Amino acid sequence: MGEVRSEADEDTILPEARRIGVCVGKGRSKGLGALKWAIENGFIPAEAHVYLLHVRPPVRLIPNPLGGKVPIEHVSSETVKKYKEDRLMKTMKRFDEYAQLCMRHTITYDVCYSENDSVHQELLNQISKLMITDLLLEKPSQSFISRVVGSESISSYLSKNAPSFCKVVIIRNNRLYSTNDSGSSSSGPSMSSPAGSMKSVSMASDSSTRNANIVEVLDVSEFAIPHDIEITSQRSFTESSTLEVLSSRNSLQEIEYAQADLKPDFQRAHQGVVPSSGFEFSLLQHQVTERNLSHCWSQGGEAPEKFQMAEEMVETAMRKVAEYQRQRDAALCEAKTASYRAFCYQKELEELTAVAQLAFKDREILDKKLHEEISVHNATKKELETTRRTLRAFVRKAEIAVKECQIEKSRCEEVSLDLKEHIKELERKLQLRKVGELAEEMCSEGLASEASGSREVQNVWWECSFEEIQKATENFSEKNKLGYGTYGQVYKGTLRQTTVAVKVLAQEGILDHAEFQKKIKLMTCLHHPHLVMLLGACLDKGCLIYEYMNNGSLEQRLYNEGVTTPLPWFTRFRICLEVARALLFLHSYPQPIVHKNLKLSNVLLDHQFVSKLTDTRMVEVMPSNSTSGAAAAEETQLTGKMAYVDPDYQRTAVWTCDADVYSLGVLMLQLLTKRSPLGIAALMEKVLDSEQLDKVLDKSAGKWPLREARAVASLGLRCMNSRPEDRPTLSNDVLPVLESVQKASGILLQTFIPHE
């Protein structure tokens, strides 16, 4: 039940049971009345099968937004498909009532829908293919206008052309209107009969009679309209109506509309004639007109006037109908236009919605990308910040490095200048030394006394005038004062393009001129890397001119904390060695020279912290009892000095080289401990015995190597033995120990340059 049949379902065998076709139209005569009549009148036996036949012309035109219609070739396939689907849906809905009716009466049925330009021909084909034995058609009420138009209906066409096995039964107004198997035509209400008496309705078998039964009634139902009219009609009554189509409405439709609109007026005009029952208006109109005319004609002379009057009435009515029709067309047109616009808006809305959805998706993607970009951007920003920080740090470091470089450069320049000066100084010293060595040779050969006045020795040292000395020291200005000692004040000065230290001796202590000159000459003969060189003298005023020692005395270095940088332990070791070497040099003369005044303040340091002994032979120049007032006043200082003096000298009053060794011992212990010379020996003995040397070592010198420190301390103690014979010799004992200590101190002893 309920399946849609196609051409493939063709049945080629003649049916045993009856196959009843029901033509399903649209509009006023749908065919439902025919089916109802057949059911009510027992026309459909239990074994019969019903075929609901419906044919429509195929779609060729599709409404466009301007209210016209366009050929489907000019429209997208998608739109055509959609339109066809809509159309099929609507078409299928037409079968609903038929299906319900069949189901209510347990009748099996099939829906047979096809499209064809010729509805007549297609129905005929379906009849043949499906072997339809009975074809039910519903005919709309006959209209007066229908007769005027004179077009052949489907019912009349099928009645004439149906195959011989098919009986065409036409129902009208719920009554049998005609069949094609009766010998006589039956039309109008009088022909209605129940199915049971249907056989008694005889129809002429020849075609002329059959035709006569149906031709007189024009059918305007949709399936009865020929193809060209069918399309127009469809446009008029379905969703595809347009302004264009409406304006080209054919006369037949106008007549139909006119017929519908005329009905009330006509009823009013013929109140007494038109029955109030449900006859179709057009049929009644026709009958009334017929009757009127025959009545008029039977009344004689009034007939033409009445006929004239009737015609005028009809014309008036027709004009009204036309007017109504125009208004209705206009309204319909507007409605259709509005409907189509709504349709367009709907479409537009759908498209916009789709676009909006796409845009929304795009936005989501873009949002996602944006988030990713932002996170990448943030990461890059962080990296950039880190790089920037690193770069800033590098720039800072580079700036510091540049500054350091500049400082180093200026230092280098200073050092270079110093070096140049130093080289000059060295060259000058070398020259002086050569001369000195010559003089020394002369001295050592015992010619000193005789040759002291010789030209060669005289030329070795600078014999300066007092004016020169004044000028060199800026008239002994306070700012140039380096210090004072036992024998007088010491000033810094520049003499003969050389920086010098000028010692101004106390006048009262100076020997007579000749003796002083002799001693000076002997002193200038002494040249050693670790002896401060006596460059010259001002004999008149008793001024001694020494090479200038940039870093002052050992005493200043050791005790002026905060003013000068403390000497490191390895420098102290080296100084011990250097002083020992200087003493050995003095003691190595054929007539050994005893320094007699070795102490911290008489060991001076040059710009490279090389130590040199000063005041050598000063004791010979200045008598021991003649000291400067200032120095003599310093009792404490004197007491300190006494600590350096060999106890054996105090006992014997004879200076020996051992006295210098004793002083060297004191100096060594002072360098280790930075303590006063008084009582230093006892202290050292104690700490060495208790192995607590580290407790007395000067911490400002750094971390002492204890083994070496202990060796030096032991050596110092031995040097301080009260018995000279128990003291170590410089060459055999002191120097080897100090050299091994120096060696052990390693490369630091060689390279260390303390910074001020």
- Shorter beta-carbon distance to ligand ATP: residue 146 or 489: 489
Reading the block at residue 560, the tokens are 């002026």
Binning the chain into helix, strand and coil, the percentages to the nearest 5 are: 60, 10, 30
Report the residue closest to ligand ATP, judged by CB. 485
For ligand ATP, which residue of 213, 571, 611, 614 counts as binding (CB under 6 A)? 614
Is 532 in contact with 604 (CB distance < 8 Å)?
Answer: yes
Binding mask 536-565 for ligand ATP (x = CB under 6 A): ----------x-xx--xx--x---------
- Choices 122-130, 272-280, 333-341, 481-489 (CB under 6 A): range interacting with ligand ATP: 481-489
The contacts of residue 211 (CB under 8 Å, 6+ apart) are 156, 159, 160
- Choices 187-195, 256-264, 348-356, 599-607 (CB under 6 A): range interacting with ligand ATP: 599-607
Shortest distance (Å) from residue 627 CB to ligand ATP: 8
- Shorter beta-carbon distance to ligand ATP: residue 501 or 567: 501
Shortest distance (Å) from residue 406 CB to ligand ATP: 31
Shortest distance (Å) from residue 667 CB to ligand ATP: 13
Shortest distance (Å) from residue 754 CB to ligand ATP: 18
For ligand ATP, which residue of 485, 568, 677, 728 counts as binding (CB under 6 A)? 485
- In angstroms, the CA 270 to CA 275 distance is 9
> Sheet containing 534-538: which strands, arranged edge to edge?
462-463, 534-538, 543-547, 498-505, 488-495, 481-484
Nearest CA among 53, 26, 162, 33 for reference residue 110: 53
Q: What residues numbered 691-710 form the site for ligand ATP, per CB under 6 A? A: none
Shortest distance (Å) from residue 618 CB to ligand ATP: 7
Strand extents, DSSP E, 32-133: 49-56, 61-63, 69-71, 108-115
Is 604 near ligand ATP (CB under 6 A)? yes
- Choices 195-203, 354-362, 401-409, 484-492 (CB under 6 A): range interacting with ligand ATP: 484-492
- Choices 31-39, 312-320, 337-345, 595-603 (CB under 6 A): range interacting with ligand ATP: 595-603
Nearest CA among 136, 71, 82 for reference residue 109: 136
Furthest C-alpha separation in the chain: 207
Shortest distance (Å) from residue 631 CB to ligand ATP: 6
- Shorter beta-carbon distance to ligand ATP: residue 552 or 647: 552
DSSP string, 150-167: -PPPHHHHHHHHS-TT-E
For ligand ATP, which residue of 144, 487, 662, 704 counts as binding (CB under 6 A)? 487
Exposure letters 214-244 (e unless 16+ CB within 10 A, then b): beebbbbbbbbbeeebbbbbbbbeeebbbbb
- Shorter beta-carbon distance to ligand ATP: residue 37 or 546: 546
Reading the block at residue 176, the tokens are 């049998």
Beta strands 498-505 and 61-63 are unpaired
- Shorter beta-carbon distance to ligand ATP: residue 151 or 637: 637
Site size toward ligand ATP, by CB under 6 A? 22
* Three-class DSSP category at 451: helix
Is 600 near ligand ATP (CB under 6 A)? no
- Shorter beta-carbon distance to ligand ATP: residue 550 or 731: 550
Q: What residues numbered 503-532 form the site for ligand ATP, per CB under 6 A? A: 503, 532
For ligand ATP, which residue of 490, 645, 668, 684 counts as binding (CB under 6 A)? 490
DSSP string, 535-594: EEEETTTTEEEEE--TT-BHHHHHH-BTTBPPPPHHHHHHHHHHHHHHHHHHHTSSSPPP
- Shorter beta-carbon distance to ligand ATP: residue 324 or 655: 655
- In angstroms, the CA 158 to CA 126 distance is 11
Is 609 near ligand ATP (CB under 6 A)? no
- In angstroms, the CA 600 to CA 615 distance is 12
Is 657 in contact with 585 (CB distance < 8 Å)?
Answer: no
Shortest distance (Å) from residue 694 CB to ligand ATP: 30
- Shorter beta-carbon distance to ligand ATP: residue 180 or 486: 486
Nearest CA among 171, 179, 180 for reference residue 219: 171
Binding mask 68-107 for ligand ATP (x = CB under 6 A): ----------------------------------------
- Shorter beta-carbon distance to ligand ATP: residue 285 or 553: 553
- In angstroms, the CA 249 to CA 671 distance is 138
Binding mask 109-148 for ligand ATP (x = CB under 6 A): ----------------------------------------
- Choices 307-315, 355-363, 450-458, 483-491 (CB under 6 A): range interacting with ligand ATP: 483-491
The contacts of residue 185 (CB under 8 Å, 6+ apart) are 178, 203, 204, 209, 210, 212, 213, 214
Shortest distance (Å) from residue 402 CB to ligand ATP: 37
Strand extents, DSSP E, 371-508: 462-463, 481-484, 488-495, 498-505
139 among the known binding-site residues?
no
Q: What are phi and psi of 135, to 5 degrees?
A: -115, 120
Half-sphere exposure in the Cβ direction for 522 (13 Å, CA): 24
Number of H helices, E strands in the chain: 28, 17
Nearest CA among 36, 282, 18, 55 for reference residue 138: 36
- In angstroms, the CA 268 to CA 288 distance is 13
Q: List alpha helices for 655-734, DSSP H.
A: 657-673, 680-689, 693-696, 706-719
Shortest distance (Å) from residue 708 CB to ligand ATP: 28
- Shorter beta-carbon distance to ligand ATP: residue 178 or 663: 663
- Shorter beta-carbon distance to ligand ATP: residue 236 or 597: 597
For ligand ATP, which residue of 282, 597, 670, 742 counts as binding (CB under 6 A)? 597
Amino acid, res. 517: Q
- Shorter beta-carbon distance to ligand ATP: residue 663 or 721: 663
Nearest CA among 132, 172, 199, 140 for reference residue 36: 172
- Shorter beta-carbon distance to ligand ATP: residue 494 or 556: 556
Shortest distance (Å) from residue 628 CB to ligand ATP: 8
For ligand ATP, which residue of 137, 260, 274, 482 counts as binding (CB under 6 A)? 482
Binding mask 170-189 for ligand ATP (x = CB under 6 A): --------------------
Is 611 near ligand ATP (CB under 6 A)? no
Shortest distance (Å) from residue 534 CB to ligand ATP: 9
Is 147 in contact with 173 (CB distance < 8 Å)?
Answer: no
Question: Roughly how many angstroms between the first and final C-alpha of the chain, as a whole number?
Answer: 122
Could you count the other beta carbons within 10 Å of the beta carbon of residue 210?
24
Half-sphere exposure in the Cβ direction for 375 (13 Å, CA): 5
Is 190 in contact with 220 (CB distance < 8 Å)?
Answer: no
- Shorter beta-carbon distance to ligand ATP: residue 33 or 485: 485
- Choices 85-93, 513-521, 597-605, 660-668 (CB under 6 A): range interacting with ligand ATP: 597-605
- Shorter beta-carbon distance to ligand ATP: residue 120 or 595: 595
Shortest distance (Å) from residue 472 CB to ligand ATP: 13
Query: Which residues are known binding-site members?
Result: 503
User: In the complex, which residues of this chain contact ligand ATP (CB under 6 A)?
Assistant: 482-487, 490, 501, 503, 532, 546, 548-549, 552-553, 556, 597, 601-602, 604, 614-615
Query: Which residues are known binding-site members for ATP?
Result: 503
